[in-house]
Structures are given as structure tokens and as C-alpha cells.
Structure 1
Amino acid sequence: MANIGGFFKNVVSEMRKVSWPKRKELTRYTIIVLATVVVMAVFFAVVDLGISELFRWYLEL
């Protein structure tokens, strides 16, 4: 049990050293991540649609 207690003591010690982002930075990073996810989702949806249409066209031949 001493190892577990020491582990959590070290975790708390290390968490105090962490440099947490300010609210403005966190908001900016969150917007960037969400925008990137939306752009990538749209990109892959278009690519998927294109590949699906190519297969449909090929199978009709």
C-alpha cells in the first residue's frame, strides 16, 4: 500500500508543475481542433462519395 500512496503523492506533485493554458488559449485551441475535425470530415465524405460513384460507374459497365 505504501507504493500506491507514494504514487499518488508523486502524481499530485507533478500536477502542480503543469503549465495549464489560460481560458483564452483553451478557447482558441478548442476552436482550432473543432474546425480541423469538421474540415477533415467534409474532405473524407467527399472522397468517399467520389470513390462510391466510381465503383457504381464501373459496375454499370
Structure 2
Amino acid sequence: MFSFLKDVSREMRKVSWPKSNELTRYTIIVILTVVFVSIYFTVLDLGITQILERI
């Protein structure tokens, strides 16, 4: 168990962590993507609902 934790610690030191400005940029991109996809599927769902109600 301790050997595993040592290996994890050693590997985590090798990780290239994003800088603050990169992290902010990536976070904004993810939030905008989620908002866009949510709006897209909401409009798609409303459109399908309207079509099915007219049938």
C-alpha cells in the first residue's frame, strides 16, 4: 500500500498543472459549452414537442 502511495506521489510531481489564466480560460470554455448545449437541446425538445402536439 505504501509503495503504491509513493508511486502516486512521484507521478503527481510529473504532472503539468495549468496556470491560473489557462485554468480560467478552460473553465469559461466549459461553462459556455454547457450553456450552448443546454440551450440547443431545450430548443430541440420544444420543437419536437410542438410537432408532436400538432399531429
Match of 2:18 in 1: 21
Taking structure 2 as the reference length, what is the TM-score of the superposition?
A: 0.98
The ranges of structure 1 where at least 4 consecutive aligned residues each deviate by more than 4 angstroms after the TM superposition are: none
Q: Which amino acid aligns with 2:26?
A: Y
Runs of 5+ consecutive residues of structure 2 not aligned to the other structure: none
Q: How many residues align?
A: 55
Q: TM-score scaled by structure 1?
A: 0.88
Structure 1: which 5+ runs fail to align? none
Q: CA RMSD in A?
A: 0.4
- Whose Rg is larger? 1
Instruction: Give runs of aligned pairs for residues 1-61 of structure 1, distance below 5 A.
Output: 4-58=1-55
